Amino acid sequence: MSIGLLTIRADSSPTMGTGHVMRMIALGQAWQDRGGRVRLMGSVGALEDRIRAEGFDFIALNAPHPDSEDLALVTAHMRKGDWLAIDGYHFDSAYQKALLDAGFRTLVMDDICERNQYFATVLLNQNHGADAYQYQINEDAALLLGTRFTLLRREFRTAEPRKDSTPAKAGNILVTLGGADPDNVTSAVLAAIASLKDDSLRVKVVAGAANPHLDRLRDDMTDLPCPAELLTDVRDMPGLMAWADLAVTAAGSTCWELCRMGVPMLALQTAANQMDVGARLNESGVAISLDAINKIHQNNLEITLHRLIHDKTVRNYSSNVAQTLVDSNGPERVVNFLLNNEDFE
Strands 83-87 and 105-109: parallel
User: For 111-137, how does the pLDDT look when each residue is reduced to its tens digit (9 = 90+)?
Assistant: 999 999 999 999 999 999 999 999 999
Q: Is the CA virtual torsion 215, 218, 219, 220 positive or negative?
A: positive
Chain segment 63-103, per-residue pLDDT in tens: 999 999 999 999 999 999 999 999 999 999 999 999 999 99
The neighbouring-strand residues paired with 57 are 39
* Cα-based angle 204, 287, 233 (whole degrees, multiple of 5): 25
3-state secondary structure at position 288: strand
pLDDT-based confidence at residue 296 (cuts at 50, 70, 90): confident
165 pLDDT band (50/70/90 cuts)? Answer: confident
Domains of the chain: 5-152+328-340 (3.40.50.11190), 159-325 (3.40.50.2000)
Mean predicted confidence (pLDDT) in 282-286: 93
Taking CA atoms, 109 is separated from 11, 53, 71, in Å, by 13, 23, 17
